[in-house]
Homo-oligomer: A and B are copies of this chain.
Amino acid sequence: MTEHTVSAYGEELTTIAGLIAEMGGLAEDIVSNAVSALMRQDLELAQETILKDARLDELLLDIEMRNVQVIARRQPMGQDLREIMAAGRIANDLERVGDMAKNVAKRVIAMDAGLKSKTLSIGVEHMTELALSQLKNVLDAYTRRNAEEARLVRDRDSEVDAIYTSLFRELLTYMMEDPRNITQCAHLLFCAKNIERIGDHATNIAENVFYMVTGDRLTEDRPRMDETGVMDKEDA
């Protein structure tokens, strides 16, 4: 952050960064709880997780209003403007991470403790660990204003995508083996897709952190490949 002659201004930016950190911690919790609820088929934890997500929506609105006030009052330029724009975008991505986790929690309730085999959901758990570590790393990169750490997160998204692709195929195999697996596996397909998209949001955040810190775009095209097998740079 550049030094500010008006110290109240620096405080405003610090408050916004603090709210982002709060959203980040909460988003990690919600993702972790949603997948625990899935693994344990814990309907109560799923319900709690759905309720918790509302706080992320409130924090997003709060950050948006503060951003508008800072822009109107200070007419920020350069690094300061990038900081504010990045905060708005990162807050949006974190709110969507919460939505993805909420979708998983809702599926737990829909499955109504009907997930017979833990094998079916173990791949989702493994993918979640990786997506959560991506989310944690990118939030650290934001706090430390570290562009290199942000780039590393961006580069590792292909690992989440690869796990997702193999999981997609695995779930289809289970469906083909026994039609009684079809309903549960259809729900798990959507859970897996939601987790894969959490990885995409971590990548979006990484790109915003990199731009905020350096003023440059992470330009090399990072081809994304999902189970559709269609290359794509962005697929949120």
Contact = CB atoms under 8 A, between A and B. Distances in A.
Interface stretch (A7-15, A148-156, A226-234): A226-234
Interface in A90-123: 92, 96, 99, 102-103, 106-107, 109-110
Contact of A189 (B179, B186, B234): B186
A218 interface: no
This protein's copies in its complex: 2
A99 B235 contact: yes
A19 interface: no
A186 B172 CA distance: 8
Contact of A50 (B64, B186, B230): B230
A228 B103 CA distance: 9
A235 B98 CA distance: 10
Nearest to A233: B54
Interface in A197-236: 226-230, 232, 234-236
A114 to B, nearest CB: 12
Contact of A72 (B72, B176, B229, B232): B72
B230 A109 contact: yes
A17 interface: no
A175 B50 CA distance: 30
A93 B208 CA distance: 19
Interface string A150-187: 00000000000000000010001001100100110011
Interface string A64-80: 10001001110110000
A90 to B, nearest CB: 14
A128 B61 CA distance: 31
Given A73-B75, A172-B182, 7 more contacts: A92-B92, A99-B234, A102-B235, A110-B227, A110-B230, A176-B179, A187-B228
11 contacts: A68-B85, A99-B234, A99-B236, A102-B232, A106-B232, A107-B228, A109-B228, A109-B229, A172-B183, A175-B182, A176-B182
Nearest first, the 9 closest Cβ-Cβ pairs linking A and B are A110-B228, A106-B230, A72-B75, A176-B179, A106-B228, A71-B71, A109-B230, A175-B182, A71-B72
